Amino acid sequence: MFRNQYDTDVTTWSPAGRLFQVEYAMEAVKQGSAAIGLRSKTHVVLGCVNKANSELSSHQKKIFKVDDHIGVAIAGLTADGRVLSRYMRNECINYSFTYESPLPVGRLVVQLADKAQVCTQRSWKRPYGVGLLVAGLDESGAHLYYNCPSGNYFEYQAFAIGSRSQAAKTYLERRFESFRDASRDDLVKDALMAIRETLQGETLKSSVCTVAVVGVGEPFHILDQGTVQQMIDAFEIVAEQEGPAAEPDTDAGQEASAEPEPEQGAAAGEGVAPMDI
């Protein structure tokens, strides 16, 4: 896939009808650290994994505030994400100055998709190597969109992008039917649980994740580490309490059965992201 005669130019079609440069940009999104989003009727929650290049460096910011009613989480090239988030801020400011009302989320997403599409049709440009989860609230309710480097955009109830995002998608697919009527705190809890799925054995702490919320009566803001850690501790205590409650039934079943208990402790997969961008 990565070496052929049709991938030297973004405007060159392959005989199979593919634009390889665009596909490579979408691959860059898969290499970035995971970002997730989920929404209810009144709130949208964004979350991301904080990854540093080394123990001596800080992590790069992955969630950006665009306006009081809109925010984005990115996966892929952080520099491209900063440029696009600044473009979105300018569009929101210009619309607010002209019409004295907040920019509808859907209109901003279309403008962003059009900007990304131009880069797939000009030989002197390259596609943006970043995927954006756009969370927003407007007159029509809460919205969660995914903007792809190809210029496509999709609206989701819940979605995950980036490295090891498939584990988070699996969790969200099991739970998404309850998201629509969920409370704000339940959404944040599910976001943290989805982030934990992408860590693959790593301990979930407030230092390795960032969570942001926007909703009715609540402007877009990033939750501080103390609040996030309290929520992590709260649902871990609940899980520990539910575990011992099931032990008596398990012991009774073991006494009634002569079968030996199967051994546990399969080795966890390495699951290291090949590139932290």
Residues in contact with 178: Cβ distance below 8 Å, sequence separation at least 6, in sequence order? 186
Question: Is 87 inside any structural domain?
Answer: yes
Quick one: which of 166, 161, 152 has its CA closest to 19?
152
Q: What single-letter DSSP state applies at residue 193?
A: H
Report the DSSP pairing between strands 63-67 and 158-161. Answer: unpaired
Q: What tens digit of pLDDT does each residue of 219-267 get?
A: 999 999 999 999 999 887 666 666 555 444 444 444 444 444 444 444 4
Question: Do the domain assignments include residue 96?
Answer: yes
Q: Residues 173-200: pLDDT tens digits?
A: 999 999 999 999 999 999 999 999 999 7
Q: Give the whole-angstrom CA distance, residue 29 versus residue 34.
A: 9
Alpha carbon distance 215, 272 (integer Å): 34
Report if residue 5 sits inside a domain: no
The residue segments making up the domain with residue 226 are 18-240
Would residue 8 count as lying in a domain?
A: no
Residue 273 lies in a domain: no
Please state, in angstroms and rounded to a whole number, the distance separating the CA atoms of residues 177 and 157.
9
Q: Give the tokens for residue 132.
A: 């954006």
For the domain that residue 162 is a member of, what is the CATH number?
3.60.20.10
> Could you give the number of structural domains in the chain?
1
Residue 248 domain flag = no
Summarised one tens digit per residue, pLDDT across range 257-276 is 444 444 444 444 444 444 44
pTM here?
0.84
Report, as an integer, the average pLDDT of 2-26: 88
Q: Residue 84 falls within a domain, yes or no?
A: yes
Return the exposure string of 166-183: e unless at least 16 CB atoms fall within 10 Å of the residue's CB, then b.
ebbbebbeebbeebeebe
Report yes or no on 208 lying in a domain: yes
- The predicted pLDDT at position 265 comes to 42
Query: Across-strand partners of 75?
Result: 131
Q: Provide CB contacts within 8 A for 168, sequence distance 6+.
A: 34, 36, 160, 194, 195, 197, 198
Read off the tokens for 6: 């049709």
